[in-house]
Amino acid sequence: MIPAMTLTSRIKEVTKQALQTLYPDIDINLSLVAVNQTKPEFTGDYTVVLFPFVKQLRQKPDVLGKQLGDHLVASNPGFFTGFEVVSGFLNLSINDNEWLGFLTATVGKENLVEKTATGKKVMVEYSSPNTNKPLHFGHLRNIFLGYAMAEVLEANGNDVVKANLINDRGIHICKSMIAWQRAAGGATPETANVKGDHLVGDYYVKFNDIYKEEVAALVAGGMEEAVAEKEAQIMKDAQEMLVKWEAGDQETRELWERMNSWVYKGFEVSYKKLGVDFDKMYYESNTYLLGKEIVERGLEKGVLFKKENGSVWIDLTADGLDEKLLLRGDGTSVYMTQDLGTAVLKYNDFKLDQSIYVIADEQNYHMQVLKLILQKLGEPCADGIFHLSYGMVELPSGRMKSREGTVVDADDMIDEMISLSKEQTEQAGKTEGFTEDELKVLYETIGLGALKFYLLRVDPKKKMIFNPKESIDLHGFTATFIQYAHARICSILRKEGVSLNGNEGFDSLKLKEAIAPAEKKLVLALEQYSSILEAAAEEYNPSLLCNYSFHVAQLFNSFYDAHSISKAENEEKKQLRLMMIIITANTLRHAMNLLGIRLPEKM
């Protein structure tokens, strides 16, 4: 279906037409037509900026504004009701019936915006954890961002595959295995009563403790530190284990599978709690050998070159980058090698038009190089690669460091948020009329909503600072604020016996009096939703939905304060306001749903 044209784009269109009609002999650059929302201190709804045209048309802004305004009102009598020219700005007033038309067309639709299918297959890879430690706060930003981005792209008509590439092999995995063998005494998640990913993570920490001790002992014995770091027994053991793993040693593989299975069970619990899912899992243990063939082909093509010791490189200096290693001298692959292979694998698996990687900005260079190499190799997957780069989450004291124990654990954070929401709900005395089970759901809805919103509300590109001491607020620019507005609406609708997908009887509504300012502001914002949704996809920025939803909730609260819905001045007003709040609730739901945030009907 063809989406209805937004008001701003309609205004742009008629303005372009008007300019061409008024100045048929002048070739005007119509892309300069800018339509903004009129500032509250002026009368009008939308504003056309006149400055871009005054020079070319040789008119004073005021004269041009008058001309354009007269023409627009005259040629679109049902659309504009009037205009005002203020120092170079043409402020246009829109006919209330346009707003009414939007409301009646939108009310009751749960799927507010039906975007035309793009026919594009898009993969979003996110989360992509290591199996040697539990998820931490930084991972949460990745997970929420990836999930939200996938949903936003889907809502914009793309066919989306959510993928997770699990880093389940390598020296870091062997470290927790070695430490577990040495120090766990056979402990399992069951016997230790610890979530599997946490148990394995504990032994990863343990490895570092033992390692430090061993290095210290060697140094005390007169060895140089750099040498000691290589000679420490536990490090040698880990490296030996990696060799055994790669050779397929049965005992090693069994332990590896056993410990990984603990981690997966733990992750599953966390993912489920977070409300995120994946369509396709990739495991590095299956993909780490990929890419060598691609490198071979690159050598044949002459895109890559071999050094004396047999290592394979690509020269990117012409692109302002460095030389990059793709195969070691002994023929084994490096990180980049497998990433080349995985990129091609993904492409072949799904015939992707676009492949999005949600990865922190510390890997900007890596991703730039990855794409560039694939392009130089002429791989068809290359151009579709997009790095959705996001800033790291830092503590006031700086980056989280697992070795210094400053990492904020994801599971702890979730639990903390849920108990915070419980505390606040009880404090506000809002638990009446709920069963125990309902309260449990409510606390999760509020707690997780707050957490997700907190991490999604900032532009992904920017790094963010999280202060655990202050925890996360449930007032102001938060999911709670939006949830509360939604609950208020649902409460009214319950009392009025109107449902969110009901649209009975609204068609025949005729306006008898002007839409009031507080009403107008809300309708105006609601009408902009579909363009916000598009922008969120185009800019790969779900935070736009946070800002927008908060703004709508704010406008609703002011509106709610100024006007009674149930006891409206007359039946027309009541109908109008019911439509407005139904669409408000559906808009908030739609937007928050895409971010994985649920809105309660009571709170």
Partner RNA sequence: GGUCCGGUAGCUCAGUUGGAUAGAGCAUCAGCCUUCUAAGCUGAGGGUCAUUGGUUCGAAUCCAAUCCGGAUCACCA
Q: Restricting to residues 374-403, name those near RNA by CB under 7 A.
A: 391, 399
Give the span between the Cα atoms of 519 and 154, in whole angstroms: 31
Least gap, CB of 79 to RNA (angstroms): 18
Give the span between the Cα atoms of 565 and 585, in whole angstroms: 14
Q: How many residues bind RNA (CB under 7 A)?
A: 94
Least gap, CB of 190 to RNA (angstroms): 29
Least gap, CB of 463 to RNA (angstroms): 6
Distances (CA, A) of 597 to 132, 482, 543: 29, 10, 13
Give the span between the Cα atoms of 376 and 599, in whole angstroms: 48
Do residues 258 and 190 make contact, with C-beta atoms less than 8 angstroms apart? Answer: no
End-to-end CA separation in angstroms for the chain:
37
In the bound state with RNA, the residue whose beta carbon lies nearer, of 192 and 334, is 334
Do residues 480 and 452 make contact, with C-beta atoms less than 8 angstroms apart? Answer: no
Told to check if 578 binds RNA by CB under 7 A, we report no
Least gap, CB of 172 to RNA (angstroms): 6
Told to check if 89 binds RNA by CB under 7 A, we report yes
Sheet holding 312-315, edge to edge: 305-306, 312-315, 323-327
Q: Which of these segments, 117-125, 175-183, 400-408, 467-475, binds RNA (CB under 7 A)?
A: 467-475
Give the span between the Cα atoms of 460 and 464, in whole angstroms: 9
For RNA, the binding residues in 48-87 under the rule CB under 7 A are 49, 51-52, 55, 86-87
In the bound state with RNA, the residue whose beta carbon lies nearer, of 121 and 463, is 463
By rule CB under 7 A, what string of x and - marks binding of each residue 329-358 to RNA?
A: xx---xx-----------------------
Give the span between the Cα atoms of 503 and 542, in whole angstroms: 30
Do residues 159 and 120 make contact, with C-beta atoms less than 8 angstroms apart? Answer: yes
Q: Which of these segments, 202-210, 229-237, 421-429, 505-513, binds RNA (CB under 7 A)?
A: 421-429
Told to check if 547 binds RNA by CB under 7 A, we report yes
Told to check if 529 binds RNA by CB under 7 A, we report no
Distances (CA, A) of 577 to 43, 443, 506, 521: 22, 30, 11, 13
Distances (CA, A) of 122 to 146, 161, 336, 476: 12, 6, 22, 35
By rule CB under 7 A, what string of x and - marks binding of each residue 253-292 to RNA?
A: -------------------------------x--------
Q: What is the DSSP letter of 516?
A: P
Give the span between the Cα atoms of 367 and 400, in whole angstroms: 23
**Residue of the chain from 83, 207, 347, 550 that contacts RNA (CB under 7 A):** 550
**Three-state SS across 355-377?**
EEEEEEHHHHHHHHHHHHHHHHC
Least gap, CB of 335 to RNA (angstroms): 3
Told to check if 520 binds RNA by CB under 7 A, we report no
In the bound state with RNA, the residue whose beta carbon lies nearer, of 504 and 561, is 561
Instruction: Report strand pairing: 323-327 vs 354-360.
Output: unpaired
Number of H helices, E strands in the chain: 22, 15
Tell me the CB-side half-sphere exposure of residue 280, using CA atoms within 13 A.
15
For RNA, the binding residues in 121-150 under the rule CB under 7 A are 130
Give the span between the Cα atoms of 146 and 166, in whole angstroms: 15
Give the span between the Cα atoms of 580 and 92, in whole angstroms: 23
Q: Which of these segments, 120-128, 133-141, 245-253, 417-425, binds RNA (CB under 7 A)?
A: 417-425
Task: Output b/e per residue, 397-409; b: 16+ Cβ within 10 A.
Answer: eeebeeeeeebbb
For 88: left if phi > 0, alpha if psi spans -120 to 50, otherwise beta; the answer is left
Q: Which of these segments, 174-182, 211-219, 555-563, 583-591, binds RNA (CB under 7 A)?
A: 555-563
Told to check if 465 binds RNA by CB under 7 A, we report yes
**Residue of the chain from 149, 446, 500, 592 that contacts RNA (CB under 7 A):** 446
Told to check if 549 binds RNA by CB under 7 A, we report no
Least gap, CB of 484 to RNA (angstroms): 3
For RNA, the binding residues in 204-233 under the rule CB under 7 A are none
**Residue of the chain from 459, 471, 516, 520 that contacts RNA (CB under 7 A):** 459
* Residue whose tokens read 């004073």: 60
**Residue of the chain from 425, 575, 586, 587 that contacts RNA (CB under 7 A):** 425
Nearest CA to 451 out of 484, 404, 419, 405 is that of: 419
In the bound state with RNA, the residue whose beta carbon lies nearer, of 269 and 458, is 458
Give the span between the Cα atoms of 410 and 130, in whole angstroms: 14
Residue 132 three-state SS: coil
Least gap, CB of 103 to RNA (angstroms): 17
In the bound state with RNA, the residue whose beta carbon lies nearer, of 88 and 157, is 88
By rule CB under 7 A, what string of x and - marks binding of each residue 471-500 to RNA?
A: --xxxxxx-xx--x--xx-xxx--x-----
In the bound state with RNA, the residue whose beta carbon lies nearer, of 161 and 553, is 553
Told to check if 93 binds RNA by CB under 7 A, we report no
In the bound state with RNA, the residue whose beta carbon lies nearer, of 51 and 74, is 51
Least gap, CB of 222 to RNA (angstroms): 26
What is the radius of gyration, based on Cα positions, of the chain? Answer: 30
In the bound state with RNA, the residue whose beta carbon lies nearer, of 480 and 586, is 480
**Token pair recorded at residue 414:** 């979730």
Told to check if 557 binds RNA by CB under 7 A, we report yes
Least gap, CB of 593 to RNA (angstroms): 19
For RNA, the binding residues in 154-173 under the rule CB under 7 A are 167, 170-172
Q: What is the DSSP letter of 402?
A: T
In the bound state with RNA, the residue whose beta carbon lies nearer, of 161 and 559, is 559
Told to check if 565 binds RNA by CB under 7 A, we report yes
In the bound state with RNA, the residue whose beta carbon lies nearer, of 158 and 483, is 483
Q: Which of these segments, 112-120, 196-204, 267-275, 558-566, binds RNA (CB under 7 A)?
A: 558-566
Told to check if 325 binds RNA by CB under 7 A, we report yes
The Cβ of residue 126 has, within 10 Å, a number of other Cβ atoms equal to 25
In the bound state with RNA, the residue whose beta carbon lies nearer, of 161 and 446, is 446
For RNA, the binding residues in 22-41 under the rule CB under 7 A are 31-32, 34-39, 41
Least gap, CB of 299 to RNA (angstroms): 15
β strands within 244-293, DSSP E? 280-283
Residue 414 has phi, psi (to 5 degrees) of -60, -50
Told to check if 545 binds RNA by CB under 7 A, we report no
Residues in contact with 262: Cβ distance below 8 Å, sequence separation at least 6, in sequence order: 188, 189, 196, 197, 199, 200
